[in-house]
A and B are shown apart, each in its own frame.
Chain A
Amino acid sequence: MILLSLIKRNFKLYFGDRKRILFSLMGSLIAVVLYLLFLKTNIQREWNNIDSGMQLLDYWLMGGTIAITAITTTGDALHQRIYDIESKRMNDLMMTNASKSIIDMSYIISAAIIGLMMQIIVYIILTGLFMLLDQIHFDLSIFGQLIGAMIIGSVVWTLFNMIILMFVKKESVLPSLNAIISSSAGFFAGVYMPLGFLSGGASKLLKFTPALYDASMLRNILMKSQLEESFHDVNGQVLEDFKATMGLKINGLANSMGSMLVCGLFIGMFFVVFVLLTGLSKKTK
């Protein structure tokens, strides 16, 4: 009941502020604008020989953009904790029957749900946009799998952002932090440039971060049927090469399940770090 009320409060504060939602979405939708204006024709030129290459590229971009959405919106939602600390709102919350850990849990759960909702919204916007522009199909059969992947993405990034924000005490740091995270998110998720186009060192580095796996998990789900259709008459090796270049196959994991497992490992790792940090901050108080 107490946890539910706190979550409800976080929702009201987040969804009650239209500017906050807009800027939150801008972080990810800017990638789409850049793609449409500059990248689409360039990347597409390379894909001339692929059947329905344009549609394939659209799904690929959607996967990356949804991953960025998870990164930026969960962070934005978690900023509420910093606002509450700085405005002393937290002191008042602490006077109630809600304990510190329940209050922290409420921020985490709210951020994960908000992240999921925003990913769904971005998915709907992009599907609508590409249905209009490139006549892509809306595939209801992948919806369950997609939601599962979005939930995993939401949890990974909520924990990641929570760990980073545990070191932040002041609201004034947030805009700069936001700028760093949202601009690097596009790069780490391999949205601005496919993994195969990067230098060996850079692509190796990316393979140790969860962003790429989150994007890969979503892309594998979104692109699956289009890939089967487009590469139907082509040698299997070509498809494998394509997957490796476009970041759908990382470290030998060539399907959504593999990436999901890696994301699961990151969740476990971040959770342990979070618990350790929470314990440490309690001790130093």
Chain B
Amino acid sequence: MLEVNGLTKRFKNKIAVDHIDLKINEGQLVSFLGHNGAGKSTTINMMIGLLKPDAGSIILNGLTPGDKGYNDSLGVVFQNSVLDKFLTVEDNLKIAGRLYKKYDENFQKDLLDKLEIKSIQKQKYGDLSGGQRRRVDIARALLSKPKLLFLDEPSTGLDIQTRNKIWEVLNEFRHKMGLTIILTTHYLEEANQSDWIYVLEKGKIVASDTVDNLKVMYAQNKLTIYTNDLATIDSLSKYDGTISNDNKVILNINSYREAIKIIQEFQNNIDDFEYVHGSMDDIFITLTGREIK
């Protein structure tokens, strides 16, 4: 659906995006993960045609940014709220809808229902809370029935209820309409549900794979065993990358089967154990050397 090759953007002497290649298939949820200034928003701004790349190509269903009709299949939720603060929610959405040739009023009504916006329709957009505003932004972005939705840090600063509501609606659109979503985020749990992840660091893609594969490559599942038996501690310490501390031994494990095998082998001498999956946090720290939040 979307193919990007050698995308590059410089701002004065600083290179913001450095020869990025992307391939995004229809219906996928793709996350861009990276620190502030890693180049996520710049990449998105080039893909939605707001910023001209210095080099590289972007092809969306055969069209490049600037081509007539390129924007037709796009929806964008910008990082900051960008609707008219002095107008009501209703006016904002009505005006936005009428700026599209194919405006479907019933679809808009349906969106208002789904995102629970009806009760705040008459309020001025500028008077809404952050969460309410975000719901309106999502409704605005979905108004044109886009095939590809860009979400630039959609849930920064939102409470868990709003985040869940937003994802409930977005997932419904993904399943019913095959909506493709490109997401930049700081929330690792949000990235966790992605089909594909690009990790960006200093304008470059440092990793690109599925969540599971990234976890296998960059995050280890950990098995912690508690025992007072010195012989057991001694035997377990022979495994690669093991850390032992008093009566606790932490082992890097590749699969749950391996964990079960170890637990069974030492079951008579184990006091207790914990098994923890490798997380997106681990992936991120391994790749960039820093925590994300």
A, B: real partners: yes
- Tell me the A residues contacting B by CB distance below 8 Å: 1-2, 5-6, 8-9, 12-13, 16-17, 87-89, 91-98, 285
A177 to nearest B CB, angstroms?
A: 22
Give A6's nearest chain B residue, CB to CB. Answer: B99
Q: Answer whether residue B287 sits at the interface, using C-beta atoms and an 8 A cutoff.
A: no
The listed residue (B80, B101, B144) touching A88 by CB distance below 8 A is B80
What is the total number of residues of chain B having a CB less than 8 Å from a CB of chain A?
Answer: 25
9 smallest beta-carbon distances between A and B, as pairs: A96-B99, A5-B98, A92-B82, A9-B95, A98-B99, A97-B101, A88-B82, A97-B100, A89-B82
Digitize B68-86: 1 where CB-to-A-CB distance is under 8 Å, 0 elsewhere.
Answer: 0001101110101011101
Task: Check B87 against A16 for contact (C-beta < 8 Å).
Answer: yes
Q: Answer whether residue B3 sits at the interface, using C-beta atoms and an 8 A cutoff.
A: no
Q: Can you offer 5 A-B residue contacts whose CB atoms are under 8 A?
A: A1-B98, A12-B91, A91-B76, A97-B72, A285-B52
Which residues does chain B contribute within 8 Å of A12, judged by CB atoms? Answer: 87, 91, 95
Which residues does chain A contribute within 8 Å of B84, judged by CB atoms? Answer: 9, 13, 89
Which residues does chain A contribute within 8 Å of B86, judged by CB atoms? Answer: 13, 16-17
Which residues does chain B contribute within 8 Å of A1, judged by CB atoms? Answer: 98
Known: A87-B82, A94-B49, A97-B72. 16 other contacts (CB 8 A): A2-B99, A5-B98, A9-B87, A9-B95, A12-B95, A13-B84, A88-B78, A91-B50, A92-B96, A94-B50, A94-B71, A95-B48, A95-B74, A95-B75, A96-B100, A285-B52
Which residues does chain A contribute within 8 Å of B75, judged by CB atoms? Answer: 95
Interchain CA distance A11-B96 in the complex, whole Å: 15
Interchain CA distance A12-B83 in the complex, whole Å: 13
Which residues does chain B contribute within 8 Å of A16, judged by CB atoms? Answer: 86-87
Which residues does chain A contribute within 8 Å of B98, judged by CB atoms? Answer: 1-2, 5
User: Given A5-B98, A96-B99, A97-B99: A91 and B87 within 8 A (CB)?
Assistant: no
Task: Check B80 against A93 for contact (C-beta < 8 Å).
Answer: no
Q: Kindly name the residue among A2, A5, A94 whose own CB sees the greatest number of chain B CB atoms within 10 A.
A: A5
Q: Which DSSP category, helix, strand, loop or mixed, fits chain B's interface?
A: loop
- Tell me the B residues contacting A by CB distance below 8 Å: 48-50, 52, 71-72, 74-76, 78, 80, 82-84, 86-87, 91, 95-96, 98-101, 140, 144
B88 to nearest A CB, angstroms?
A: 9
Which residues does chain B contribute within 8 Å of A96, judged by CB atoms? Answer: 71, 96, 99-100, 144
The listed residue (B48, B76, B99) touching A5 by CB distance below 8 A is B99
Q: Kindly name the residue among A6, A88, A92, A98 whose own CB sees the greatest number of chain B CB atoms within 10 A.
A: A92
Interchain CA distance A222-B74 in the complex, whole Å: 54
Which residues does chain B contribute within 8 Å of A2, judged by CB atoms? Answer: 98-99, 101
Give A83's nearest chain B residue, CB to CB. Answer: B84
A162 to nearest B CB, angstroms?
A: 21
Interchain CA distance A169-B144 in the complex, whole Å: 30
Which residues does chain A contribute within 8 Å of B95, judged by CB atoms? Answer: 5-6, 8-9, 12
Interchain CA distance A13-B86 in the complex, whole Å: 7
Give B91's nearest chain A residue, CB to CB. Answer: A12
Which residues does chain A contribute within 8 Å of B100, judged by CB atoms? Answer: 96-97
A97 to nearest B CB, angstroms?
A: 5
Which residues does chain A contribute within 8 Å of B82, judged by CB atoms? Answer: 87-89, 91-92
Give A5's nearest chain B residue, CB to CB. Answer: B98
Interchain CA distance A198-B268 in the complex, whole Å: 109
Which residues does chain A contribute within 8 Å of B101, judged by CB atoms? Answer: 2, 97
Which residues does chain B contribute within 8 Å of A285, judged by CB atoms? Answer: 52
Task: Check A91 against B71 for contact (C-beta < 8 Å).
Answer: no
Which residues does chain B contribute within 8 Å of A91, judged by CB atoms? Answer: 50, 76, 78, 82
Give B87's nearest chain A residue, CB to CB. Answer: A12
Which residues does chain A contribute within 8 Å of B48, judged by CB atoms? Answer: 95
Interchain CA distance A87-B83 in the complex, whole Å: 9
Task: Check B99 against A93 for contact (C-beta < 8 Å).
Answer: yes
Give B80's nearest chain A residue, CB to CB. Answer: A88
